[in-house]
């Protein structure tokens, strides 16, 4: 198991926002996954958009 930064990772627990937990079938596969995710840029606006979406979903349907 390994944690890598990922701006599209938004969890129900806000403490885990911006972090992806990688699982793999072996050390070699885990290393390959880590390289792939570390090459992706971290975009703060993407994380913010995911957090806003989560907040809106938690509010539930609006009743007029």
| CA dihedral for 21, 27, 29, 32, sign (positive or negative) | positive
Whether the pLDDT of residue 41 is over 80: the answer is yes
Average pLDDT estimate for 28-55: 95
Flag whether the pTM goes above 0.85: no
Q: What is the mean pLDDT of the chain?
A: 92
Model pLDDT, residue 62: 76
Whether the pLDDT of residue 43 is over 90: the answer is yes
Q: What angle do CA 37, 43, 49 make, to 5 degrees?
A: 115
Model pLDDT, residue 60: 85
């Amino acid at each position: 198991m390994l944690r890598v930064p990922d701006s599209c990772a938004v969890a129900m627990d806000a403490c885990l926002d911006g972090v992806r937990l990688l699982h793999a079938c072996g050390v070699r596969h885990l290393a390959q996954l880590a390289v792939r995710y570390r090459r992706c840029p971290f975009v703060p606006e993407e994380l913010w958009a995911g957090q806003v979406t989560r907040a809106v979903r938690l509010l539930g349907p609006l009743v007029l």
